[in-house]
Amino acid sequence: MERLDKILAGTGRWSRKEVRELAKLGRVEVNGQVVRRPDDKFDRTAMEVRVDGEPVSPEPYYYLMLHKPAGLLSVTEDPRQPTVLSLLPPHLRRVGLFPVGRLDKDTEGLLLLTNNGPLGHRLLSPGRHVDKVYFTRVEGQLDQADAAAFQAGMLLEDGLQCLPAELEVLEDPSTGLVTLREGKYHQVKRMLAARGKPVRYLKRLSMGPLTLDPDLAPGAWRPLTEAELAALEGL
Ligand code: URA
């Protein structure tokens, strides 16, 4: 269920503020009833909306897999810096897409974008512990002591108690695969910095059942497949 103003603003025809005004003036009807409160909630897939008597189709839900390049912010808008939405064609910038979880500006890799708020928030909820796998290159060499510290659940200097995580040291020991079940601010970088091995490169390879499509170059995106969406909905 989502707010009426969000659903209608998602069509790109009105801003949320304009929707609020239209609603107040009694110009919006849902399922045959005038709705004056823009925060009333509806299921966009099962509602009939009219504005001034004209039917309006709420935008469907979109689910995009994006290969985030370095240099863009994972937010929907920023006054100064380009965001990941700048990679999308104009019509997809107006449907209310947001990134499910953030990657740092300099981090690359898998980002899920959707306008399905309930699904996005469910995936992000702290109790859910969706596995996220990152490839990293650090300054120095990773070793089994680092892996053991990750496994034990690190306590960072600033008081953050991390859940147990995995670190697989790769053949080139300056590289590794990190698996986290949570997503605190700069978490991989903070954990590796605490081991004295600052991150030089970071790329997210997977998130729960979603794996970055190797055919997507940095900056490219594609809709999720039916199977990927079903896997996410089943989480
Ligand atoms: N951990 C980080 O430090 N940065 C990211 O972008 C993601 C996880």
**Domain coordinates in residue numbering, the chain:** 2-56, 63-126+210-233, 131-207
pLDDT tens-digit map of 125-171: 878 889 999 999 999 999 999 999 999 999 999 999 999 999 999 99
Radius of gyration for the alpha carbons in the chain, expressed in angstroms and rounded: 21
CATH number of 131-207: 3.30.70.1560
Q: How confident is the model at residue 234 (pLDDT cuts 50, 70, 90)?
A: confident
Average pLDDT over residues 179-187: 94
63-126+210-233 matches 131-207 in fold: yes
Distance (angstroms) between ligand 1 centre and the Cα of 108 equals 9
Question: Ligand 1 pocket: which of 105, 130, 134, 191 to mutate (most atoms <8 Å of CB)?
Answer: 134
The CATH code of domain 2-56 reads 3.10.290.10
**Which residues in 69-191 belong to E strands, given as ranges?**
98-99, 108-114, 132-138, 166-169, 175-180
Concatenating the DSSP letter of every residue in 10-30 gives TTTSS-HHHHHHHHHTT-EEE
Q: Please give the model's pTM, rounded to 2 decimal places.
A: 0.84
Catalytic residue among 40, 78, 104, 172: 104
Domain 63-126+210-233 has CATH 3.30.1320.10: no
Instruction: Take atom 4 of ligand 1 and give the residue whose Cα is closest.
Output: 186
Instruction: Reply yes or no on whether 104 is catalytic.
Output: yes
Return the pLDDT at 26.
Answer: 97
pLDDT in tens, 58-89: 888 899 999 999 999 999 999 999 999 999 99
Query: 220 C-alpha to center of ligand 1: Å?
Result: 20
